[in-house]
Amino acid sequence: MTRPPAWAWAPFALALGILVIPLAGLLATVSWSQIPELLARPTARDALGLSIRTCLASTVVVMLLGIPAAHILARSRAWWTPWARTLVTVPMVLPPVVAGMALLVTLGRRGLIGEKLDAFGLQIGFTTIAVVIAQVFVSLPFLIVALEGAIRASDRRLERAAALLGAGPTRTFLQVTLPTVLPAIASGTALAFARSLGEFGATITFAGSLQGVTRTVPLEIYLLRESDSELSMALAVILLGVAAVVVGISMRLQVRSSHD
């Protein structure tokens, strides 16, 4: 294995410090003994419960949509594939507030589609469904990008062999393709869940901040940062812990997938 040059350790240490020191400061400031009491408050319970429910729902939707989409992008050679791949990636770099505005002007009460739905008594904006949609919008690309790369790198000879033995596209996809990229599916799903859990900008713009309805943990942290800093930091630590666990699992799965 080629060793990195000696000078690279200085920027490495600086980069690590920039990323780690603020997180360490948060962990050092929070009142650990009061966390159980703080999280027992109604506002904290409502925010945590809503975040868990919406993140689980959005993750299921992401898997149902993202796995087939990643397979099509990985196997398609059509002229439109690069354009579709670009469109899928855009929400990953789009400012969250812009994503929320896009959802609002499309699915809001006076939006292009939302206005027609409102005529039938269906309202999406500023509801719990809006929270799920916002989370899906920002987290779906994480699964698609991670899984598409794994499918493109997988051995296509297994799929060709299955086709020669009479397996149809659906059976080949379910019994041959998916089992070979399970670590990538798990890793991408974990990243999508973590992204949904931390979603803020698109949610507050498209869904608002109604306690028990649309106010997830990131929104609660934002609202409490001045009025109740202790609870705000306790919730921040919970998000940090969950994100660290999820990303850690995702990294282990990626390493295992690359070794396989």
Residue 61 reports pLDDT greater than 60: yes
Round to whole Å and give the CA distance between 64 and 132. Answer: 14
Query: Which of helix, strand or coil describes residue 213?
Result: coil
Nearest to 245 by CA among 176, 180, 191: 191
Round to whole Å and give the CA distance between 102 and 133. Answer: 12
In the prediction, which pLDDT does 244 show? 87
Nearest to 219 by CA among 91, 53, 44, 58: 44
Residue 256 reports pLDDT greater than 90: no
Q: Under a CB-based contact definition with an 8 Å cutoff, are residues 151 and 181 in contact?
A: yes
Burial of 199 per CB tally in 10 Å (0-12, 13-18, 19+): buried
Q: What is the DSSP letter of 4?
A: P
Q: Per-residue pLDDT tens for 128-137? A: 999 999 999 9
Length of the chain: 260
Round to whole Å and give the CA distance between 217 and 236. Answer: 8
Q: Per-residue pLDDT tens for 204-237? A: 999 999 999 999 999 999 999 888 889 999 999 9
Question: 142: which 2 tokens?
Answer: 């994480």
Give residue 185's identity as a one-letter amino acid code. Answer: I
Which has more pLDDT, 58 or 245? 58
Round to whole Å and give the CA distance between 208 and 211. Answer: 10
Q: What is the DSSP letter of 177?
A: I
Q: Where residue 254 falls among pLDDT bands split at 50, 70, 90?
A: low
Q: What is the mean pLDDT of residues 79-89?
A: 93
Round to whole Å and give the CA distance between 30 and 234. Answer: 6
Q: Per-residue pLDDT tens for 91-130? A: 998 998 999 999 999 999 888 998 888 888 888 989 999 9
Nearest to 88 by CA among 188, 204, 229: 188
> Global pTM?
0.90
